Structure 1
Amino acid sequence: MVQRTRLDEDSCPVARSVDAIGDWWSLLIVRDAFDGSRRFGEFQRSLGVAKNILTARLRALVAGGILETVPASDGSAYREYVLTAKGRDLFPVVVALRQWGETHWFGPGEPMSRLLDRRDGRPLRTLEVRAADGRPIRPEDTEVERVGEGGQD
């Protein structure tokens, strides 16, 4: 069996983040948690993923501090999964992926789900990366300050 390369000690923040949530099932679980899913069965119905895979991904997200389990909101014996502060901090990442997908993976007029501002029912403004002084930043406007040998950025 091929062993997965661990990146949890890499000097690159992107590598560590991908190590924590880079699995596509995990990111879709986080997406569903933002959409209100809380129970195992809700995640499984939404994603259509096998129970063993879902169990493993949920355990990893809990172990990573992205989700936590809490008593069921209806008072039953079940447990529910809720986003932690660390998990909620993934919201801009999920929005950025959504907006990138809307731009690059759908044809003109092709139906897609939409993320709307609950207050006014309008789509969100496209996310932008900005410098500390507020000006828009493009990839060519940045550089990576590398640390030591061994890490990749």
Structure 2
Amino acid sequence: MTMSRRTLMTALLGTVAAGGALALLRGMTSPADAAPAVTVWKAASCGCCGGWVDHMRNAGFPVTVHVVDDVDPVKARLGVPERLQSCHTAEVDGYVLEGHVPADSVARLLRERPAAKGLAVPGMPQGSPGMETGAKDPYQVVLFGGSAGMRVYETR
């Protein structure tokens, strides 16, 4: 079988392209490998907390869940202000997460590394991660514990 110059060049370029793509894929890490671990404290009776945990895992965060009888002592130990409290509390890479904080807000927090204690979504707003009921209420993601006190980090 005689191979034309064009066929040979096409085959060679295809091989080089496939090898380059494979090299790129080998150098990539999965989001779960790159994302820091999230530790969550929640009550056994809270179903929406499980929805938030699923949301974080789907975003690539490895999550460990501690089911406790009372989450309030955890909130107190981590310094979550009463007016920002929600149903579950978490820690990630030195920050506190209170309530239904979206995973992309957490990713932004970890990228920007502001001098703060963490992020909170006070209450349990409809439409926030874990609270998807079909309704969507506007809500705020609050940065707290920094020198500026509390401030709106994002409005959703």
Tell whether the structures are fold-level matches, with TM greater than 0.5. Answer: no
Larger Rg belongs to: 2
Higher relative contact order (CA 8 A, sep 6+): 1
Q: TM-score, normalised by structure 2?
A: 0.25
